Amino acid sequence: MDALLFGSIGTLADTSLLQLEGFNTAFREAGLDWHWDVEAYRRMLRRPGGKARIRCYAEAYGIPEIDENLVDVLHARKTAIFIEAIAGGRARFRPGVIRLIQEARAARPCVLIGLVTSTERSTIDNLLAMSDGLLGRRDFDVIIDRSQVDEDKPAPSVYELALERLAVRAEACLAIEDTPACAGAALDAGIAFLATPNSFHEDGDFSSALAEVSRLGDIDHEARQLSGRPVTSHGLVTLQKLAEQLREHVEGSVVSVE
Encode pLDDT of 146-190 as tens digits.
899 988 888 999 999 999 999 999 999 999 999 898 899 999 999
Q: How far apart are CA 182 and CA 23, in angstroms?
A: 20
Q: How far apart are CA 215 and CA 52, in angstroms?
A: 28
Same domain, yes or no, for 132 and 158?
yes
Mean pLDDT, rounded, for 189-211:
92
Same domain, yes or no, for 253 and 167?
yes
Looking at 29, 61, 87, the residue that finishes a domain is 87
Same domain, yes or no, for 70 and 192?
no
Same domain, yes or no, for 72 and 165?
no
pLDDT of residue 217: 96
Tens of pLDDT, residue by residue over 6-65, are 998 889 998 889 999 999 999 999 999 999 999 888 888 877 778 888 998 998 888 878
Tens of pLDDT, residue by residue over 50-91, are 888 899 899 888 887 889 999 999 999 998 999 899 888 888
Tens of pLDDT, residue by residue over 100-114, are 999 999 998 899 999
The secondary structure of 156-204 as a DSSP string is THHHHHHHHHHT--GGGEEEEESSHHHHHHHHHTT-EEEE---TT-TTS
pLDDT of residue 132: 80
Element (H, E) at 113: strand 112-116
Tens of pLDDT, residue by residue over 117-127, are 988 888 888 88
Confidence of residue 256 (pLDDT cuts 50, 70, 90): low
pLDDT of residue 50: 84
Residue 134 vs residue 256, higher pLDDT: 134
Element (H, E) at 55: helix 50-60
pLDDT of residue 253: 75
SS3 40: helix
Q: Which structural domain range is residue 79 located in?
A: 16-87
Mean pLDDT, rounded, for 241-256:
86
Looking at 43, 59, 87, the residue that finishes a domain is 87
pLDDT of residue 257: 46
The DSSP code for 138 is G
Confidence of residue 206 (pLDDT cuts 50, 70, 90): very high
Looking at 40, 70, 87, the residue that finishes a domain is 87
Same domain, yes or no, for 27 and 126?
no
Tell me if 237 sits within 8 A of 231, measured CB to CB: yes
Neighbouring-strand partners of residue 237: 232
| CATH number of the domain enclosing 130 | 3.40.50.1000
Same domain, yes or no, for 192 and 218?
yes
Per DSSP bridges, beta strands 173-177 and 192-195 are: parallel
